[in-house]
Amino acid sequence: MTRDATTPAADAPARLIVIGNGMVGHYCLEQLVARDLHQRYAITVFGEERHRAYDRVHLSDYFDGSDAESLALGDADFCARHGIELRLGECISAIDRESREVISAAGRYPFDRLILATGSYPFVPPIPTPAEDASGHARLVYRTLDDLDQIRAAAASVAQREAPRGVVVGGGLLGLEAANALKSLGLEAHVVEFAPRLMPVQLDAEGGQALRARIEALGVGVHVDRATREIVAGEDHRYRMNFTDGTWLETDLIVFSAGIRPQDRLARECGLAIGERGGVVIDDTCVTSDPAIFAIGECALWNGRIFGLVAPGYTMARTVAGCLDDVCEPFSGADMSTKLKLLGVDVGSIGDAHATTEGAVSYRFIDEAGHGYRRLVVSADGKRALGAVLVGDNGYYDTLLQYVQNAIPLPADPASLILPQGEGAPLLGADALPESAAICSCHNVTKGAVCQAVAQGCTDLASLKAETQASTGCGGCTALLKQVFDHELESRGIAVDKSLCEHFAYTRQELYDLVRVEGIESFEALHTRHGKGHLGCDICKPAVASILASCWNAPIAEPSLIPLQDTNDTFMANMQKNGTYSVVPRIPGGEITPDKLIAIGAVAKKYALYTKITGGQRIDLFGAQLHELPEIWRELIEAGFETGHAYGKSTRTVKSCVGSTWCRYGVQDSVAMALTIENRYKGLRSPHKLKFAVSGCTRECAEAQSKDVGVIATEHGWNLYVCGNGGMRPRHAELFATDLDDATLLRTIDRFLMFYIRTADKLQRTSVWRENLDGGLDYLKQVILEDSLGLGAELEAQMQQVVDRYECEWAGALKDPEKLKRFRTFVNDQRPDPDIVSVSERDQPRPARAEEIASLAVEVSS
């Protein structure tokens, strides 16, 4: 060895370069940071793509409305925050091992340690294609976002044709994903597989058959046992694929997904050891034939094997981070078990799925009617499970995986593990799992780690996920994680107390159901029947007031409701720090006439109010004293305003862009839709505030994807996004339904909002509610779009009742002297609150600070 590159020089930090910013490359950075290695190494990362690391596992979501940003991994500023230099769109062309430098078109970069995370590339078999085909639509691939953009463009170019068709060559995992992508682009999708069955690596013949039947039922053509001889110009479609058996298939575009090859060019050219069929040779510590260079992920060849899954790549990344931190945990291979949902079909493959172990015995359950298939492979002595194949129902997966991975003794009748459940199939309880059992294989979280998190005080699933990262990778372990978590809580005697407060041993949802089912219309009635103690408190009173309002929409200023409400609801204004209120008239959709602007200005001037434009496109008037509120509202109502409910846990605003009326890009009238939505849901009480937005085109100027309900215009109608949030915990809204017409959009929002109101916890925004919803977005879609609970009509009727009963609370209050008597600063004196003192700043009033009040007092007295 010419020099010791492993020890950082004493004066400068050692230089660590990572080539590749894919899933494994990014995970490696996270592991380096977790070990504080970013403080010991100057880290530079090169990514060939222009996007930062993104989730390739969920790539087909890109055609379901996800964009590059929502697929991106980690925070956008992850690298910047940790002093890691991220060079995207910069392709490394060579590695100079002599000078210890990597070389790109932009320059040379020295390194002390180098990590190759270059991944793989799709294998495109050398099949002759029409010479004049310049479009490349016969040789598309499916790996990167840019690839997907090309597929999208190719699909768009044939969209005008009658029954456009797309073919995927390769019936493996990625091939079926690609077929799903073609399907969501509106193409008739076909899969051509060389092997005699789909997913030949993971499934056996019967499993392949069951999967094929299910996929064909979805309208996807499946052609197995076909090798493509040539691609020529087609008659009805652009191309014709001629197969070696003499048959042919016409299509407008062809996506190749016939396997991957390790991206090992850089390693090969700089003389590192390369496997016979490709792949950078690594040892158990992920070190290549050059001790200063590591390789991880799909470019690495360990023990003669390439691992084409994310989890083994993550394990390698942890190994490397450990080695750099001098606590090396050797890589010892990886479990290739997979659980997937392909085209909506559950597919699972565990361990020795093909029963290659000597003497292995199989149990099979075949459901030809429902195209279900399950196989359990056990050892010759019948004591241990070796592997399994599942098609159609992955409900069995977690249990079987644990049997296989942890060598748990099988029950006397192993077949019971794959028989239809509901016949007393023994479910493997969480307590049967050893501490070392891997719950989340993406992030290597064991049962022990989950238990430890619980021991340290973690009592809800969301914080457990944040704490351990469990279930934040592929998400396949969600159900198992919950099971282990619940069991652990239970065994520790931690009853997860979901009581609203000491007066009601119910959750908000349970109270909601009681109120509706029993037709309860007052706090007293609910408290008498179902509560404890005498009075209630500041937790349960507003919560019940909100439930009553959501259910019956009685005016909020009803005398019986007033004592329940938070001060803001009681006085129908927002209390500020000095006890004054701010007033926000409703400005639907942010659209306002000059006359109304003048009216607001006149009121603000008359009452010396500080004015500010809000983020929700309206105007907030600050500094009104309690006794001034009725006068201010009398004038605002006279000018045509209604209350804006800025004080309530209720519909706030519907933000909009100007849309097709003015904007040269707009495709729909977003302002009109915003007005419709705001006028429909104004006054709606909910567990927490509700914000909406409508954008007139995909440029999304109204920022709809950060709202509880976001609507974005398309050429064919409206795309609906739900459960977004800005504020403290930003969350991208998720695409819920596409190309809705006006009526369907409103009906869908009706159902969505009412379902949220029914089931959310108190003060739970839609984003948190959604994250805690068992079954997630799919479940929500089933309930709202497919009406799986049969609730649709009821939810709509309930919403219509609330809409019909709307009245402006301020207009109602002004007519009622009983209600107005509350709006007195003092019941026995006309004076304003003498402690409210304002000073002028930037030509507007603001509350005086304590020291200013002190000095004012001095001036007055002197």
Partner 1 sequence: MSLSTLAASTAAHGSSPHCVRLCTRADLVAHSGVVAWHAGHQIAIFYLPGRPDAADDRSRQPEDAADRSRQPEDAAGDCLYAVDNRDPFSGANVIGRGIIGELQGERVVASPLYKQHFRLRDGVCLEDPEQRLQTWPVALRGDDVVLLEADTRS
For residues 432 and 539, which CB has a smaller minimum distance to partner 1 in the complex?
539
623 and 606 Cβ atoms separated by less than 8 Å:
no
Residue 94 or residue 575: which is nearer to partner 1 going by CB? 575
431/502 with CB nearer partner 1? 502
| Nearer Cβ to partner 1 (88/539) | 539
**Which of these, 44, 103, 112, lies nearest to 79 by C-alpha position?**
44
Q: Which is nearer to partner 1, 662 or 826 (CB)?
A: 826
User: From CA 824, how far away is CA 833, in angstroms rounded?
Assistant: 10
Q: How far is the CB of 118 from partner 1 (least distance, A)?
A: 55
CB of 604 to partner 1, least distance (A): 22
Quick one: 116 or 543, whose CB is closer to partner 1? 543
Taking the C-alpha atoms of residue 300 and residue 307, their distance in angstroms, rounded to an integer, is: 8
Nearer to partner 1 among residue 381 and residue 829 (C-beta): 829
CB of 580 to partner 1, least distance (A): 8
Rank residues 532 and 716 by Cβ distance to partner 1 and give the closer one: 532
Residue 367 half-sphere exposure, CB side, CA atoms within 13 Å? Answer: 15
Which residues have C-beta within 8 Å of that of residue 573, sequence separation ≥ 6?
Answer: 581, 582, 583, 624, 629, 647
If the CB atoms of residues 703 and 833 are measured against partner 1, the closer one turns out to be 833
Give burial (CB, 10 Å; 0-12/13-18/19+) of 200.
middle
Cα distance between residue 68 and residue 62, in whole Å = 7
Complex with partner 1: residue 536 or 590, whichever CB lies closer: 536
Nearer to partner 1, 564 or 713 (CB): 564
DSSP letter (8 states) at residue 704? G
Q: Which H or E run includes 345?
A: strand 345-351
User: Please, which residue, 216 or 538, has the CB nearer to partner 1?
Assistant: 538
Instruction: Please name which of 390, 372, 383, 389 lies closest in space to residue 414, comparing C-alpha atoms.
Output: 383
* Residue closer to partner 1, measured from CB, 304 or 533: 533
Name which of 336 and 848 has its Cβ closer to partner 1.
848
Min dist CB 801 to partner 1, Å, is 28
- Name the 3-class secondary structure at 771: helix
| Contact indicator for 278, 261 with CB cutoff of 8 Å | yes
Between 379 and 625, name the residue whose CB sits nearer to partner 1. Answer: 625
- How far apart CA 488 and CA 474 sit, in angstroms, is 23
Of 492 and 824, CB closest to partner 1: 824
CB 327 to partner 1: min, Å: 45
Query: 512, 551 in Cβ contact below 8 A?
Result: yes
Among 19, 4, 16, 3, which Cα is nearest to 103's?
19
Q: Supply the minimum distance, in Å, between the C-beta of residue 623 and partner 1.
A: 13
- Provide the residue count of the chain: 862
Calpha distance 219→190 (Å, rounded) = 9
| Residue 439, CA distances (Å) to 442, 456, 478, 491, 858 in order | 9, 18, 9, 18, 68
Nearest approach in angstroms of CB 542 to partner 1 is 7
Only one residue has tokens 């001034």, namely: 628
Q: What is the smallest separation between the CB atom of 822 and partner 1, expressed in angstroms?
A: 6
User: Min. distance of Cβ 842 from partner 1 in angstroms?
Assistant: 23
Least Å from the CB of residue 819 to partner 1: 10
Radius of gyration of the chain (CA): 32
CA atoms within 13 A on the CB side of 676: 14
> DSSP character for 529?
H
- Minimum Å gap between C-beta 524 and partner 1 is 10
Backbone angles phi, psi at 43, to 5 degrees: -100, 130
Beta strands in 155-234 (DSSP E): 165-169, 188-192, 221-223, 228-233
CA 371 to chain centroid, in Å, comes to 31
Please identify which residue in the block is written with the tokens 């040269």: 664
Cα angle for residues 808, 813, 818 (degrees, 5° grid): 160
- Least distance to partner 1, CB of residue 619, Å: 24
For residue 565, give Cα distances in angstroms to 561, 642, 818. Answer: 7, 20, 17
List residues binding partner 1 (CB under 8 A): 502-503, 533-539, 541-542, 559, 562-568, 570-571, 575, 577-579, 626, 821-822, 824-829, 831, 833, 835-836, 850
CB of 643 to partner 1, least distance (A): 18
CA–CA gap between residue 116 and residue 265 (Å, rounded): 11
| Nearest distance from C-beta of residue 578 to partner 1, angstroms | 5
Residue 432 structure tokens: 């049967």
Q: 527-536 long-range CB contacts below 8 Å, 24 or more apart?
A: 527/503, 530/504, 530/506, 531/503, 531/504, 532/502, 532/503, 532/504, 532/505, 533/502, 533/503, 535/503, 536/503, 536/564
CB 836 within 8 A of CB 579: yes
For the packed helices 478-491 and 461-468, what is the interaxial angle rounded to 10 degrees?
110
Closer CB to partner 1, residue 459 or residue 567?
Answer: 567
Tokens of 802: 């609330």
Least distance CB 725 / partner 1 (angstroms): 23
